Amino acid sequence: MMDNLHAYWRIDYVERAKSDSDDPFKYDEDTGNDGERLILFRSKFSFAIMNKYPYNPGHLLVLPHRAVSDIDELSEVERVDFFTAIGKAESMLKKALSPDGFNIGMNIGLAAGAGIPKHLHCHVVPRWNGDTNFMPVVANTKVLAQSQRAMFERLIAFTDAVI
């Protein structure tokens, strides 16, 4: 008998309407609902948010507030702030989750695999020895051990430690 794994949250991603003008990363300066948006912290020019479609538990995205498509479009002060925020996200994940390593990177442009090419973002993905398994290959399914909301609550407790 075959067991079924369900990832119902993925349907929102698969079926969402795609638009050239849509920017899912454009958040106003109203910080009152950052918890609902899963924004963990903001700096003057950047912010860190939980990835709604994570590769691993704790997968974060760091973005500049201003929508640009490439690093060279950031001013010097924005660039320093952006890379500092990436370091803070990594530090927060180290303190909160004690991963064995990280994948940190950006896909710039459609040809490089950028899903939202008009808004630069950096993936900060915690990794653990042995966290890969056969599920993505055999069943096109990623197994996450904790809900996104529970992970947000776990990580938000560590934001003060890195800001």
Which one of the listed residues 59, 65, 119, 121 is annotated catalytic? 121
Q: In what order do the strands lie in the sheet with 39-42?
A: 39-42, 46-50, 60-64, 122-127, 101-105
Cα separation, 94 vs 129, in Å, equals 14
Neighbours of 1 (CB within 10 A): 2
Q: Are 46 and 5 in contact (CB under 8 A)?
A: no
Give how far Cα 5 sits from Cα of 45, 51, 142, 144, Å: 40, 21, 9, 11
Q: Quick check: is 121 catalytic?
A: yes
Paired strand residues for 124: 60, 104
C-alpha 73: how far from its chain's center? 21
What is the amino acid identity at position 19?
S
- Active centre residues (catalytic): 121
